[in-house]
């Protein structure tokens, strides 16, 4: 499994091995000709990314690469990031956007790397029990990397997180199940439920037609993988494109069922929000009202990691093959985990601390919107000296009144808001219910890329080998990487050809 590649780990007789190799060579060649195969990624050599050796017995035959800001304090968090098939630690470091937030919020990064010696397409062997179970193979190698990084950087062992794309996403789910005592939270990007497959044939079934197990059946697989008596579980973010044909979107539903069952909560979301990039966020709170599972569904996105190149606070990453220009998943994942120091995903900005004695403000309502502003009001709380206003779980302002106007927003975009009362000691109380507001208007945008890139980014679609702009249905020629067009988005989901000049 992984970006468009079979999850083979070759075993058996030499004759079978030679035959499989011939088949894979032909298949990979065909994929390359249609633009469906990423070039083999180089070894990690980027400035700032360092190889770490002697991190343990390394039974999974992996390589360890790490990045840490120069001013990293003791007791900082640690994030483990797993690449997809045909990729490398360097590839994920350069495209995913995680280094930006490591610098901003102060945490170390570990990038495990597999190779063709383990898997013909350099996929993590998420489907092999000998590599994905606690204390075995690649899973144990990754755990040993965590131990090495915690010792080397003085990281807080209570704040270790893991994320991964595709095959790395499948391995992430398995690591969360096998090591719930190690990881505080995780993020599965275009990946599979934990213990979905125990061999090659089952891997294909999981990718293309995942088993429709009950939440309890999926949850039992996690409980069986974890140490006996485990009572505390990681929080899990799930990212999935609706147009993914490599790992079908049904996997996100099964992942949700699996982890909500582990947490003992239902499969009906506590709330939903509309984010940028055609993203719908569904939040599933635990019994205390704190988000335990978040599902990010990206309309029209194909197989890959969601990035949003740019210098904005909520932007990150570099677009490329299987790095799709939609929304910065690393930003929202870091927010969900509480790495931003403003919150732990529950919107109260307390970084995981218990809320103060002040009750949640009531009557939160949207009073006005423009193309760039949202005005809010709420009822006063006795004992409050100020109020903290949060947008999408991140604090955006403080006011002593019971009204607030959020500014500098994007046109035609939906935002979610909560408010918490703050006492004289600076302690925030319980958070209010969420209200949503949509700014008016729409700002046209221009996108120049190959027909293949336009399609994978959700701006166009292909039929019979030809490409058509979404919305306008204008013909763009063959679906490949050799034909380039400029598309202008004139309305949500509506694109027109603008090769002669894009006024936006």
Q: Are 146 and 110 in contact (CB under 8 A)?
A: yes
Give all strands (DSSP E) within 202-244, no chain letters.
235-241
The DSSP result for 371-391, as a single string, is SS-EEEE----TT-SEEEEEE
Q: Is 401 a catalytic residue?
A: no
Q: Exposed, middle or buried by CB within 10 Å (0-12, 13-18, 19+), for 288?
A: exposed
Identify the residue whose tokens are 């209570």: 158
Sign of CA dihedral 346, 348, 352, 355: negative
The DSSP result for 48-111, as a single string, is T-EEE---S--TT--EEEEE--TTPPTT--EEEEE--TT--HHHHHHHSSHHHHHHHHT-EEEE
Cα angle, residue 443 at apex, residues 441 and 449 outer, rounded to 5°:
150
Round to the nearest angstrom and report the end-to-end CA distance of the chain.
39
Sign of CA dihedral 11, 12, 14, 16: negative
Q: Are 310 and 327 in contact (CB under 8 A)?
A: no
Identify the residue whose tokens are 């604090």: 395
CA distance 22 to 20: 5
Q: Are 111 and 89 in contact (CB under 8 A)?
A: yes
Residues 6+ apart with CB under 8 A from 119: 7, 8, 9, 85, 125
Cα angle, residue 22 at apex, residues 86 and 7 outer, rounded to 5°:
35
The residue among 357, 348, 378, 354 whose CA lies nearest residue 366 is 378
Q: Which of 63, 88, 141, 166 is catalytic?
A: 166
Strands 403-406 and 394-399 turn out to be unpaired
CA distance 291 to 282: 10
Q: Are 383 and 430 in contact (CB under 8 A)?
A: no
Identify the residue whose tokens are 């909520």: 314
Question: What is the token pair recorded at 216?
Answer: 């309890």
Identify the residue whose tokens are 């030499």: 14
Task: Please state, as a whole number, how many other Cβ atoms lie within 10 Å of the Cβ of residue 320.
Answer: 18
Q: Residues with catalytic annotation? A: 166
């Amino acid at each position: 499994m992984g970006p468009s590649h079979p999850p083979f780990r070759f075993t058996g007789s030499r004759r079978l091995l030679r035959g499989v190799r011939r088949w894979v060579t032909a298949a990979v060649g065909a994929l390359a000709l249609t633009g469906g195969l990423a070039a083999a990624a180089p070894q990690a050599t980027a400035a700032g990314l360092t190889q770490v050796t002697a991190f343990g017995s390394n039974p999974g035959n992996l390589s360890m690469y790490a990045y840490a800001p120069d001013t990293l304090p003791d007791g900082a968090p640690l994030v483990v990031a797993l690449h997809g098939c045909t990729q490398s630690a360097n590839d994920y470091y350069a495209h995913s956007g995680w280094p930006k937030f490591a610098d901003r919020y102060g945490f170390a990064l570990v990038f495990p790397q597999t190779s063709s010696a383990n898997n013909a397409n350099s996929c993590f062997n998420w489907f092999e029990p000998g590599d994905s179970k606690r204390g075995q193979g690649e899973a144990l190698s990754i755990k040993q990397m965590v131990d090495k990084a915690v010792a080397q950087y003085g990281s807080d062992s209570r704040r270790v997180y893991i994320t991964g794309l595709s095959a790395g996403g499948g391995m992430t789910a398995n690591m969360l199940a096998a090591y719930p005592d190690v990881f505080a939270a995780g993020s599965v990007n275009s990946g599979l439920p934990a213990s979905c497959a125990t061999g090659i044939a089952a891997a294909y079934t999981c990718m293309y037609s995942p088993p429709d197990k009950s939440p309890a059946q999926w949850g039992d697989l996690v409980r069986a993988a974890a140490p006996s008596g485990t009572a505390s579980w990681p929080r899990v973010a799930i990212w999935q494109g609706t147009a993914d044909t490599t790992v079908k979107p049904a996997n996100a539903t099964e992942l949700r069922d699996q982890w909500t069952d582990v947490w003992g909560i239902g499969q009906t979301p506590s709330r939903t929000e509309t984010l940028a990039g055609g993203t719908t966020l569904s939040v599933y709170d635990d019994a205390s009202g704190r988000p335990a599972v978040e599902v990010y569904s990206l309309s029209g996105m194909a197989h890959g990691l969601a990035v949003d190149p740019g210098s904005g606070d909520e932007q990150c990453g570099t677009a490329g093959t299987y790095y799709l220009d939609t929304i910065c998943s690393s930003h929202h994942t870091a927010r969900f985990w509480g790495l931003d120091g403003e919150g732990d995903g529950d919107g109260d900005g307390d970084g995981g601390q218990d809320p103060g004695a002040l009750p949640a403000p009531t009557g939160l309502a949207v009073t006005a919107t423009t193309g760039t502003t949202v005005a809010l009001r709420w009822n006063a709380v006795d004992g409050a000296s100020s109020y903290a206003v949060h947008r999408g779980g991140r604090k955006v302002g403080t006011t002593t009144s019971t009204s607030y106007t959020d500014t500098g927003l994007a046109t035609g975009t939906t935002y979610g808001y909560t408010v918490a009362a703050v006492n004289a000691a600076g302690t925030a109380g319980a958070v209010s219910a969420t209200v949503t507001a949509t700014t008016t208007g729409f700002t046209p945008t221009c996108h120049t890329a190959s027909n293949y890139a336009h399609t994978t980014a959700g701006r166009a679609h292909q039929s019979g080998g030809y490409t058509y702009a979404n919305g306008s249905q204008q013909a763009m020629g063959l679906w490949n990487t050799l034909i380039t067009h400029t598309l202008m988005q004139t309305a949500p989901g509506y694109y027109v050809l603008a090769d002669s000049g894009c006024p936006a």
